[in-house]
Structure 1
Amino acid sequence: MTPQGTGHLLAIMIPEPKGREVAALLERNVTVTMTITIGTRNLQKYVSRTSVVFVSISFIVLMIISLAWLVFYYIQRFRYANARDRNQRRLGDAAKKAISKLQVRTIRKGDQETEGDFDNCAVCIEGYKPNDVVRILPCRHLFHKSCVDPWLLDHRTCPMCKMNILKALGIALNADCLEDLPLDYDLTVGGGGGGAGSGGRGVGGVERRDPQ
């Protein structure tokens, strides 16, 4: 149809049932007259109420699942952080107890540690001098006391052979703390990769001295 006063074609969208009705009339050579008026859009009637309900319920369910997951995640994260802090405190206390059981010696003039071919302290990479205080580990490696004590508090292992001092000294830990220890470590004193294979020189014949 061509409206009066325009030279353009006008396309009208009508529902399919109404279109079939008009087509049937035209096939019977019935004259069909249509009146076109400008109206307002009413999108609401094209929106299915079922679709709105489905979308709304889906959105609510999605929000509930997301909120539940976030709550679970932060609860687990909080529990893990607390467990890790408790574990670190227990391991720190155990490390202090182990360090107190390690032998301490003062280097004297003429000791083999003062010789030029003796290995330096693996922590500070400096040689030993007379009057230096050294800490001797169960694996028979020695280090400056001021160097190795902070290391042992943080790592609880020999800086050279990675021997765990807690297991070497037989300090019992609970199940939480044991998770922090190597599973393949030999419980015997000096186990877990002795000094000879670690590239460092140990102190022969050192006995562990417990505090009186």
Structure 2
Amino acid sequence: MTSMQAQVLLVEDEPAQREVLIYNLEAEGFAVRCAGNGEEAMLMVAEAPPDLVILDWMMPLMSGIEVCRQLKTHEDTRHIPVIMLSARSEEVDTVRGLETGADDYVVKPYSVNELMARVRTQLRRNRSGAVGALSFEDITVDTESHRVSRGKHDLKLGPTEFRLLARLMERPGRVFSRDQLLDLVWGRDVYLDSRTVDVHVGRLRKALTRFGGTNPIRTVRGVGYSLG
């Protein structure tokens, strides 16, 4: 699917911000739908799931955090990339947004050009990856159907955790630095703190050990992470 075909749901309650983003998203070739609050956003997703959601944190009726949590909880929507927008710039807020399931976190005021780059990257990364099946010990990843299993159990991963696991499984035993993982999973045109990698590795570990089994992701102190 190209950017001309990609459907973006913009969830923003401030009219001025909404108009600026609509203009720039449409200039990039995206088809844009808008919601002014969290409840409206959930109804629109149920009617027609978008390819990506841009989601403001502070909104009436239902907060962006709650919308994100619900999207990432349900099997039918957990695969949709979510970019969270927020005036909250403290590290604890960024971590909370990412741990809720957001695939990216952008602090206001932001550069529109940078946000557009992040949108393109999330859409591209959500559709990329090696073709075929990857396996390591009792873990199997099908990159075509985006299914992950460990032993007899199917695992539910968000798009970022899926890409992260696939990258690690392509080279078992190799130690990837945080900067390398940022480039491979998020893209070179997106600027994120290395803490982002730590948050998503934590979420991936939790998913991989949900039904028991040892944690297969090794932390190499001062360097990064390795599978096995």
TM-score w.r.t. the length of structure 2 is: 0.23
Please identify which structure carries the higher strand content.
2
- Greater relative CO (CA pairs within 8 A, separation 6+): 1
Larger CA Rg, structure 1 vs 2: 1
TM-score w.r.t. the length of structure 1 is: 0.24
